[in-house]
Every structure is written in C-alpha cells, then in structure tokens.
Chain A
Amino acid sequence: MKLFTFKGGIHPPERKELAEDKEIEVFAAPKVVYIPLIQHIGSPLDPLVKVGDEVKVGQKIGDSKGFMSAPVHSSVSGKVLKIVKHPFPVNGYANSVIIENNGEDEWIESKAVDDYTKLSSEELLGIVRENGIVGLGGATFPTHIKLNPPKDKVIDTLVINGAECEPYLNADNRLMIEYGKEFVEGVKIILHILGIKKAVIGIEENKEEAIEKIQNLVANEDGIEVGVLKTKYPQGGEKQLIKALLDRVVPSKKLPSEVGVVVQNVGTAKAIYDAVVKGKPIVERVLTVSGLGVKTPKNLLVRIGTQFKEILESVGIDEEKTEKLIMGGPMMGLAQFTDEVPVIKGTSGILALTEKEMNSYESRSCISCGKCVSVCPMNLMPLMYAKLARFKEWGEMDRYNLMDCIECGSCQFICPSNRPLTEGIKIGKAKLRGMKRK
C-alpha cells in the first residue's frame, strides 16, 4: 500500500500504547465548572449571564460581536457563582464563569435539524457558529470562518486531519473507532457547506483499527476516501498533510485555500455533526490523560470547565515523579503552572510528564550538526534562530523566514545540545509581529 508522507520530521517515542486501547469513558460532571470566556483564537467574549443566574446545559453564557470569535456554553445546569479571573491553560488567567452544578443535567431546548441538505451553507455556518465550534485539534480557530474561505478561492477538496501525530494522544483515534458513523456524517455536512464532493481523511498507519473502521464506513460514500499516512511527526501539520495526501504545496505565508483545500480535524467534524443533527453545542470533549506520572492513563469524555485536578485525582497521579503538567501533546502542548486550570475546547490531552520521559538535558553550545535543518518540515534553518535571538537580530530572523515556522518543535527535539530553539523562535515571532504592527 502506498503510504503518504512529507519530507523531514522526526520519530519521537509514540507512547500511544499507554491509552490507545482504552475505550472513551464518560467523566462525571464535576460539582463546579470554570468556563473561560475565551476558548478560541481571537477576542475575549462578554458574559451573557450574571452572578446568581440559573443556567441549563448548552445555554450560551458568553459571546462577542468580534469577527474572530465563537460563543461558549454552560456544560452543566445550575447557578452562576462568580464571574472572575481564573487560571487559564493557554496563558495565565482568563475571565471565567464559575457555575455550581445542580446535578439535574437539564438541557436547553434542542434546535436539531432534521435534514441538513435542505439548509443553505449560510444557515449551516450560522449553526456552526452558534454552537461554539472551533478547531478541536488544539488550535481553536473558529470553524465557521475556516469553512467560509475567501470567495475568490476555488475549493475542491476537504482534508480531514486524523493523523494525530503527537505522541500519547488518542482522542481522535478513539473518536474514529467509537463514533465513526457520526464522524463520517460530520464530514458529509462539511462537504455540503463547502459545496464540494471530495474529501480525504488522513490517518497515520499506526491507527489500524481506526483506518479499518473508517474505510468500511466510507466504502459506499462517493468522493470520501481514506489516505493512510506514514507515522511521523508532524504529519498532522496542515501544510505537511496537504503535501502528503494531495501533493500540493501551500505557498509560503499563504493558507490552504490557496491550493483549493480546507482542513478540518476529526473532533471538529464530529462536533459539527452533534451541532447540526443533535442540536448540541460544545459542552464536552474527548481527551487523553496520560504520561508516566499518571497511574491509569485513559481516554475521557469530559465537560468543558472541569479542572485538571479532578481528572488527575480520579486517574491517579504520582505527584512525586511528575515534573511537568501539559495541556495537549508533548511536542506542542502548553506547560501548566497549576492543576487548577480547566478543560477548554482545545484540550486534546492532559499529560503528567516525569523526568524519565522528558530526557531533560542541560543546554550546550551548538555543534552545527545540522540535524535541526534536516528534520525541519518547513525546510528552515532552526539553528540560526537561537543564535540570532541571542543577539536580538530580529530583522535577520525574518530573512531566515522565521514566520514560516510552524513551531512543531522537531528541531529542538532532535538537538543533541538541547539548544533553546523554539524559545528563540517564539520570542523572535513576537518581536517581529510587534515591529510589523508599528
């Protein structure tokens, strides 16, 4: 069989085995949920409720008129306790609605659609937005914007990212295995919204069960096919995925729409199905709790707003050994300073990492081995960034195409000297953005 892939990349230890065969368990809704009023890339939302209000599951509690936004909904029924700054897994603190669960699980009235094919793209995009759907792979880009590409771009193919190339994570894998039907329906709804016929679902070779399941499900679907990808990181990078599956190259600094493609994540497709067919906004998501610091790694269906702490306590955490707490995967995930942060829409995983699996190593001088250059999936020269950042040569970093970096971390993973490459890159990008704004 032909395996699709791209040039460069790395093979970190997968550690999928910790949880890949664990069926998704429903995690009981907690007593209190902490729902941040920003769970997307874009501007924060305004609260639509006040302290003391009674809310139901699925009720919209925050929205914004800003273009780049998606509303948030209550994940439990109960009473609004507070609206305050609370630890937030993306950066520090965020204004959050804190709701006490009354345990009734009362839902709002469903706005399910009987036959989505009778609705126009605009109507469906409205439903997608109203249900707060954002990219569930972790990037949390508002989906209604992504599914509405510029009118001058002709889209012909939908690419579904089922690569899940980050080590440890199994959320998308389990979704495809256990909710394959709903997922495929979601893909069909997206095709309808885009008004196109062709979809390719890219899945890495190491997810045999998911590949088989989805291949059977799409066997009789015209235009939807599965592309088996080589297991390699970052196979799920948007540009890498498009190159691997369609052999199309997204030009530097351009979006996939430039080559006629829209990319969506597995979880997002399932969420679109839930929103349209069941009338359910995003109030919960599937995530993987893993890492060698976790006693029984699992895949869980968790309410948005559940604190990491409660999840970690239930699966058992070895506090002694755990050095880092990560939201997301070990390659691109975010290190947390506290376990009081809540699960948000972008939480694909919660990892408790030990010294043993991180392989920490004191940073040394660059020995110019060029390994970072050979693994960079964007063909950049990462070793230059650490050097240039040290001398504050931001303009020079731009000349080395810094802005094309997808921050996959492959360069720093492979570096025998453990140079702070991604740190230099992140600082450089922030400085350059600041310079360009002026």
Chain B
Amino acid sequence: MTMATRLADASLRVETERTGVLQQVWARRADYLYVLPAIVVMLIVIAYPIYYTINLSFFNTPPSLQLRDKNFVGFDNYSLILNSDVFWRVTANTFIWTIASTLIAFVLGLGAALALNRDFAGRSVLRAILIIPWVISAVAASYIWKWIYHSDFGVIGAVLVGLGLADRPPNLIDSVGTVLPSLIVVNVWREFPFAMIMLMAGLQTVPDQLLRAARVDGASAWQRFWHVTFPHLQGVSTVTILLLAVANFNSFIIPWIMTGGGPSNASHIWITHIYELAFGRQRWGVASAYSVLLFLILMTLGYFYVRALSGGERKERGA
C-alpha cells in the first residue's frame, strides 16, 4: 500500500467513531453511492447466475428449457456425473491440460523474461513481437494452428515428411494420442507472453545492488539467479502461476474450435464438456451440477489466490 492510501486510511479512521456495523454503514452511505452501480451490475450478472446454477443442478429440466416443467431430483445429477466414465476421462484431460500448459508457459515466459532483461539493440521490438500471440483473438489463433496441423496441407506435416521423419503427414489433431499435446502447444503459444510480461515486471523489482554484490563475491550467473533473482520473483511467480492455472482450467475457445472435444473425447476438458452437455445435448441439470462442482474447485483455487495476494498486502503494511 502506498503512502497516500495509508494517509487516506488514517484520516478516515479518525473520522470514524467506534460504532456498530449498521451505524457505520449508515454513516458511510455516501461511500456506497460510488460502489452501488457496480454492486447492482454484479448482482444481476454474477450473483443471480450462481444462485440459479445451484438451483438448476437439483432439477431435471426439459430440453426446451421450460422452467415450469422442471422436477426436483435431489442429488441425482451429481451421482450421475460421478458414476460416468466420461467424467473421469475428462477430468484426467483437464488436469493434464491445465498442469502442462501452466508449467510450460511459465518456464518459457521466465526464460524469455530473463533473456530480455539485458539491454541490446532491438529489445523492445522483439518484446512486442513476442507479446502479439497473447493479444490476437483466440479464435484466429485456433484457425491459424488448425491450418498448420492440417492433415493434408499442413506445414508441420510437410516439414516432417521433408526431413524424412514421417512417410506421410500425421493426423496430429485427429488422433487420440496426439490431440491433447498438439492443443497444448497452441495454448502455450498464446499464453507464455502473459507470463513473460508479468515476470519482466517482477525482474524490475530485483535490487541491482544485491546482484552486483553477488557478482563481486564471485557468484556465477546461475548462483545469482537462484539465490538473488529467483527469491525476489516468488510473489509474482505465485500470482502468475495461479492466474495461468485458472485461465487454463477455464479454457474453451481453442479446444472447442480446433477439435470440439474430439476425437472420442480425447480433447474434452471440463469447460467444453459442460458446454456440450448444456447447449449441445440440452441436459441442463447435469450441466449445472458440473458447473457447481467446477465452482467449488475454483473457490478452492481462489482461496489460495486471495491468500497469495493479501499476503503481499500484509507485507506492504508492515504488519
């Protein structure tokens, strides 16, 4: 927290008498006017849908989505999910997808951030080029890579055949064994720039004097990284990894456009599976139950996220 807000807090604290919460709320009613529009919008588009999803997960709702005709089924939707093979298949895919994408994107981002951390001609141009995949539409990215992977005219197939590594172009995204890794390559392509930006900003906070001192004491480049730079990046790294993990867990566009979850569910992850259950097969109740489970998982991740962030805040306050 900056000096300014600390001052602001201090002055507010002087204004506030020791009173009950309701009295405080009343006394600060003008403050709420600033937040009120945001609260209203958030209630409509966030709180209401969460409530409604939980509600729908206990019902069997007809495909037409006629809410009058829904009937209460208790936990049936949940037990249906947990007893299906597809659930475990998709869960395994989701974990592979999330963990592999996150780790590879983070490592590539860290490498790029470190390599770009010295001054050289063309550094800012290079950085700008490396960021572009993160900015362009995921839909465009999916088409570009679909074309690159194309089983008849794809450039990867052509290179593999040209180098004599394959007799004919492989069906990278049409076969069960290779589809998930192929999609992870696309996903990492789009995401490592995010890790790079975050970590480059983090590198700015590593004190120069410490690095210089380590150099003077004869520490090697690796030792300087491991003992000085890396510990300073820990806060940013935690936040970056969590944000990447959440984004990957919630991916939709790349798997949906490139394969639609196929072949035979090999690239379905939770999100695409839920979407297909709801809008493809009109199984609103089951899809809602899936959403509730997803919500619980994300709340757990969110707990760590908030803890990582507020840990930083506590340090700032010096408490």
Partners in one complex: no
Q: B: which residues have CB within 8 A of A? A: none
